[in-house]
Structure 1
Amino acid sequence: MEHRHSTATGTLPQVEELGLGERLRRFVRRRARAGWMRTRSSAGHAALTTIAAVAAYWFAEAVLGHEGPLFAATATLVGLGWGREPKLRRVLEVSVGCTLGILIGDALMLGLGRGMWQAAIVLFVSIMAARFLDSGPIFTTQMSLQAVLVVLLPAPADGPFSRSLDAVVGACCALIVTFLRPHRTQRSTAKRLQALYDPMVSILRDLSTALRTQESSTAWMALITGRGTQSVLDELRREVQMAREVTTYSPLERRQKGFVTVVAYAVDRSDLAIRSLRIVARRVVSLIDSGSLTDEAAEALSSWFDEAADAVQILNRCFDEPTPAGRRQGRLDAREALGAAASRLHPTHLGGGSLHGEALVMLLRPMMVDLLEATGADHEEAVGYLPGV
């Protein structure tokens, strides 16, 4: 006989506690799988960083004639870093901080010499200078680290300021790579949008099922899914900000600037829509628990939620179209589907004549306006799809 335990939304099977050996094996498998995924995703950036660092070292050694230009490779490596995509501000912060730190170290070493107390003075001065120039913690860390390394390492045979020039070479290599590397802005942003619209579709489907079966636990799970989208939205906003930056400075991605503008507006409106959907989900839980809807109203609303889910799926697909013409047509198709769903949101007709049903329909109306605006419709056009009340 299966043992079960009670939860706020029903009962779940009792899960037996695993032994130490089995937990350890699962932990190792998860770590290995995650490590392999990180390795695969980092292969391209690792190859590009390696080439850039070696190129900076070669240029400083072969062209400038410096002996062992370690700081050229170092400045390139710290400049490119290991983020998912190098951002221009971060690369500039790290590169300039690295270069200034080496320059300060070289300058102070001429007057103070090398040693422990000299290193302490150099480090303190570098930190104070970094805090004066920029508030970023990365800038301060790199500037102070490189400055103290200059003092502690043996003096170069090519002169004290040769290492500063090496750092400039490395910083330039990092910036060149950042400017010219392909970023796949459209594909990356569309994938992040999918991570928002997929749960939205799932929530709408779950609410439809909850109303049809009168199971409030299903609506409660939809509410939990909606609350979990906040982290997705935060990540999506960071993605859009990075895409704006990339399309501004990268000549290879500048043609995607219009697409990023459209996506940024869609994200803003979709953020408002998902917030409204959370409120709707909470309302559906309350209506089912209280039995406030008639069977006819519950069935009509269930059908509407399915229709809305189909429309959001069309909106989701339109941003993944490979061509601008395809994306424009996709937004028009999504607008037509969302508009058809919005046109049914009459409180009296869809709400079944009950006050609770009408209140739920009124909550759905601003959500649909936001989704219609996400397709590129202006506010007046979006509101025009709603039936008069």
Structure 2
Amino acid sequence: MERARIGTIERLKGLDRSLKSRVWRVRHRLLPILQITLATGFAYFIATQIFDHRQAFFAPISAIIILGLTGGDRIPRAVELTIGCTLGIGVGDFLFYNLGTGYLQLSAAVLISLLLASFLSKSPLISNQVAIGSILIATIMPPQPGLAGASRMIDALIGCSVGLLAAAIIPTHPLSSGRREFSKVLGLASSVLDDVSDALRNRDHQALSEALEAVRGSQDAINAMLAAAKTGREASTLSPFMWGQKRRVRTLERILTPVDNTIRNVRVLARRALVLCEDGDTVSEGQIQAIEELADITHALSEIYERSQEIDEAQEIPELVRRLRVLGAKVGLDLVEGKVLSASVVLAQTRSIVVDLLQVCGMSRESAVAVLVPTSETPAYPPEIWADDSSPTRSLKDLK
């Protein structure tokens, strides 16, 4: 009876999480839905009421296509789409109006459209839209008296223009999606670091293999993060309502590289940790504790970006920087304790992740590297070694 009750509770919790996920997805889609709804109606209104076009099919369709573009390249791709649509419709109208419709005419229209698109641009989007426009004219809306000519090309231009206008007037927030994707990538890095530290302590090959497999599948998350950053930059450029966010968008873009480097270094660390365990070797407890600390700090950064609250960020980032400084002063060669090469590689990756996370927190690479205890007699950057949790006290000479 008790087991059945626990099972019911767990199922209810699962349903609750699923419901919350669906509600969040609907809320996330409300603004794009509003953009498309208003843009299609407005584009159709302009084409029919102002330009007096009887079947303004391409006006709302072009608006939907423009607003459906993602990845931060909406403006140049919208221009390409506009060229492709208008060119395809124009070629199709001209050929089918003079030659009639049929499979031979369709093949000829597609051939001419693609050759013309290839001559004008190497963009595959233009080529696809040119061919699609010709096919639509041939199969669904063949030329009719009073309907052929430039009217449908104008409709396509209207739809593309209204789509960009809707994106500018009703913009998505340029930071929200970017911060959310940053949070996902950092959360994945934290989870893998935590699994690696536990697996190294327990010498668990299977857990290390699973952690490595998880971080190897992180490329989609990285691509989504890069696309979200581009989208944020585009929104802050396109919409006058978001011009005040440009500085914050540039700040977010500056940490793209260190976040990307973090997940890549975590991947190398997990792979080397697996090799170490397969060889039957071990690392020191100090190295495991350093990885655990990195996992905790990375998790804290992930939560900061997930909340998207500047006040929390301003209060918490300095404390995370302090912890990273303290950790940087500890990850020296003495931590390896004469272990094998794999242990040294794990240490090197740990040091690299410390530098990456300091850059995520806003430090320059030079300042971040200077936090590390030196492993060379002639370090490129003067070291800033922290003897305790509060202040730098030792110089390189003190270490020799």
Indicate the TM-score class for this superposition, using the shorter chain for normalisation.
Answer: 0.7 to 0.9
- 1:125-140 matched pairs, under 5 angstroms: 125-140=112-127
Alignment RMSD, CA only? 3.3
- Give the TM-score of the pair, scaled to structure 2: 0.76
Shift of 1:204: 1.7
- Relative to structure 1, the CA distance from residue 341 to residue 143 in structure 2 (aligned partners, 3 Å threshold; closer, same or farther) is same
- 1:197-208 matched pairs, under 5 angstroms: 197-208=186-197
Match of 2:65 among 78, 88, 94: 78
- Relative to structure 1, the CA distance from residue 71 to residue 312 in structure 2 (aligned partners, 3 Å threshold; closer, same or farther) is closer
Asked if 2 retains the 8 angstrom alpha-carbon contact of 1:76 and 1:95, the reply is no
Q: Distance in 2 between matches of 1:106 and 1:381?
A: 63
How many positions carry a matched residue from both structures?
353
Matched residue, 1:385: 371
Matched residue, 2:350: 364
Shift of 1:129: 1.5
Structure 1, residues 4-49: CA drift from partner, whole Å, max 9, x if none? xxxxxxxxxxxxxxxxxxxxxxxxxxxx99xx79984656534532
Q: Distance in 1 between matches of 2:75 and 2:319?
A: 36
Sequence identity (%) = 25
- Relative to structure 1, the CA distance from residue 201 to residue 305 in structure 2 (aligned partners, 3 Å threshold; closer, same or farther) is same
Q: Distance in 1 between matches of 2:45 and 2:183?
A: 43
- Relative to structure 1, the CA distance from residue 284 to residue 67 in structure 2 (aligned partners, 3 Å threshold; closer, same or farther) is closer
- Relative to structure 1, the CA distance from residue 123 to residue 338 in structure 2 (aligned partners, 3 Å threshold; closer, same or farther) is same
Matched residue, 2:255: 266
Counterpart amino acid of residue 222 in structure 1: A
Moved more, 42-51 or 210-219: 42-51
Matched residue, 1:313: 299
Matched residue, 2:42: 55
Shift of 1:121: 4.0
Matched residue, 1:179: 168
Asked if 1 retains the 8 angstrom alpha-carbon contact of 2:89 and 2:137, the reply is yes
Q: Distance in 2 between matches of 1:380 and 1:353?
A: 29
Shift of 1:273: 2.6
Structure 1, residues 200-247: CA drift from partner, whole Å, max 9, x if none? 111221122123323233233222222222332122222223322332
- 1:214-293 matched pairs, under 5 angstroms: 214-293=203-282
- Relative to structure 1, the CA distance from residue 45 to residue 378 in structure 2 (aligned partners, 3 Å threshold; closer, same or farther) is closer
- Relative to structure 1, the CA distance from residue 146 to residue 214 in structure 2 (aligned partners, 3 Å threshold; closer, same or farther) is closer
- Relative to structure 1, the CA distance from residue 172 to residue 380 in structure 2 (aligned partners, 3 Å threshold; closer, same or farther) is closer
Shift of 1:382: 0.8
Moved more, 217-226 or 197-206: 217-226
Asked if 1 retains the 8 angstrom alpha-carbon contact of 2:269 and 2:345, the reply is no
Shift of 1:339: 1.9
- Relative to structure 1, the CA distance from residue 308 to residue 87 in structure 2 (aligned partners, 3 Å threshold; closer, same or farther) is same
Q: Distance in 1 between matches of 2:241 and 2:146?
A: 41
Give 5+ residue unaligned stretches, structure 2: 1-17, 376-400
Counterpart amino acid of residue 302 in structure 1: I
Matched residue, 1:67: 54
Matched residue, 1:340: 326
Q: Distance in 1 between matches of 2:25 and 2:191?
A: 31
Q: Distance in 2 between matches of 1:277 and 1:119?
A: 54
Match of 1:45 among 27, 32, 47: 32
1:351 partnered with 2:340: no
Structure 1, residues 103-157: CA drift from partner, whole Å, max 9, x if none? 33445567x3534355554433222221222222232222233245446624253
